[in-house]
Amino acid sequence: MIFRTVLSALLLSSTTAFSTHNTNNHPALLQSSSTSSVVTALRAAESEVNFGELDGSDLRIGVLRTRWNDEHVSNLVEGIKAGVTECKVPTENIFIKEVPGAYELPYAAKLLAMSGTVDAIICAGVLIKGETLHFEYISDAVTKGIMDVNLATMTPVVYGVLNCLDEEQVVKRSSNENGGHNHGEDWGKTAVEMAIMRQEALKGKGQKTGKPGQSELAALGFGGGGAGVNKEKPGFF
């Protein structure tokens, strides 16, 4: 038993010494290793979601954003607009409304969803961990509230609230600079994809008989009254 322990220690020591010796005598090897780490970090910052081709040319997207943490949220909104525009949504069909903070997002989202004037909603905000439990309470309430609006109104409401431990984490997720990735771009595309899914479900698109499967749609919570939204501009935008 003692012999095995000593042997393992010797092998570990030799391996460490060999690795150190090689990197010290071969700077290129060390540089290659560092470059590999940087490339890996940059790749990790990119979006891992493939949205494919999305045609949102007939959609209206509502963006509810907070004034709290304004600079970072403004960056996220720019990302949202870029993502939505990439999906062919006309600029005039992107509507933005401000609320004070993240806690107000679910209520504003429900008002907008009930107005029937948009095909999808994106709630954008930033929560940063502080010294008290305020962060946990707000984060939990907002998350549940946004999900409730999704299910209660059958309007896609995208969760675009960053929950971070510090400002550095926020910057990496709200900007494409220095290896970061603006998650707003993904949220914009998600809104378009879910709005299209809702339209297809309500229209019964893809049914072999050409008629909607009313029982299947009812089981999913969809009504049978047809799809589409009132295309009049929301009064409070």
Enzyme catalytic residues? 134
Contact (Cβ atoms closer than 8 angstroms) between residue 120 and residue 191: yes
H/E element, 216: helix 214-220
> In angstroms, rounded to a whole number, what is the distance separating the alpha carbons of residues 143 and 153?
16
Long-range Cβ pairs for the range 138-141 (8 Å, 24+): 138/101, 138/102, 138/103, 139/102, 139/163, 141/103, 141/106
- Secondary structure (3-state) at 162: strand
Dihedral sign for Cα atoms in the order 165, 45, 175, 49: negative
Query: 58 — phi, psi (to 5°)?
Result: -110, 15
**How many angstroms separate the CA atoms of 91 and 88, rounded?**
9
